[in-house]
């Protein structure tokens, strides 16, 4: 989603790098899915692209509006965690929710 918003805003990787202080190679790896960003990195990129941080990792057209508020809260609570850690926490929560539903 980073590349989607970056190209939509007609911002080059070099310019995004200057706006965020993140190297061009790191941005390229993030866009290619070769690297997992921290929440702090997502916040910097989101601010530069003028989008909510949650917009950078929610698939377009799949309930972005309904999920944005909840994910925003998670971002605030989990500042500094990697996306992997955040997704793992969500998986754990879903696992326990399903377990409670069965009981």
Contact 74, 86 (CB under 8 A): yes
- Residue closest to 74 by CA, chosen among 62, 96, 6, 82: 82
| 90 vs 27: CA distance, rounded Å | 25
- Where residue 60 falls among pLDDT bands split at 50, 70, 90? very low
Mean per-residue pLDDT of the chain: 78
Place of tokens 């972005």: 64
Over residues 67-85, the pLDDT tens digits come to 555 566 666 667 777 778 8
The 10 Å CB-count burial string (b at 16+, else e) for 9-29 is eebebeebbeebebeeebbee
Fold classification of 2-102 is 434 Repressor (Amino-terminal Domain) (1.10.260)
Domain map (residue ranges) of the chain = 2-102
């Amino acid at each position: 989603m980073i590349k989607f918003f970056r190209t939509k805003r007609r911002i080059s990787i070099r310019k995004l790098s200057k706006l965020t202080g993140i190297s061009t190679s790191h941005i390229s790896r993030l866009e290619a899915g070769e690297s997992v960003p921290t929440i702090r990195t997502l916040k910097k990129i989101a601010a530069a692209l003028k989008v909510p941080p949650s917009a950078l990792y929610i698939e377009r057209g799949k309930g972005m509006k309904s999920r944005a508020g909840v994910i925003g809260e998670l971002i605030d609570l989990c500042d500094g965690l990697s996306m992997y850690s955040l997704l793992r926490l969500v998986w754990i929560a879903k696992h326990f929710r399903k377990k409670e539903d069965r009981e």
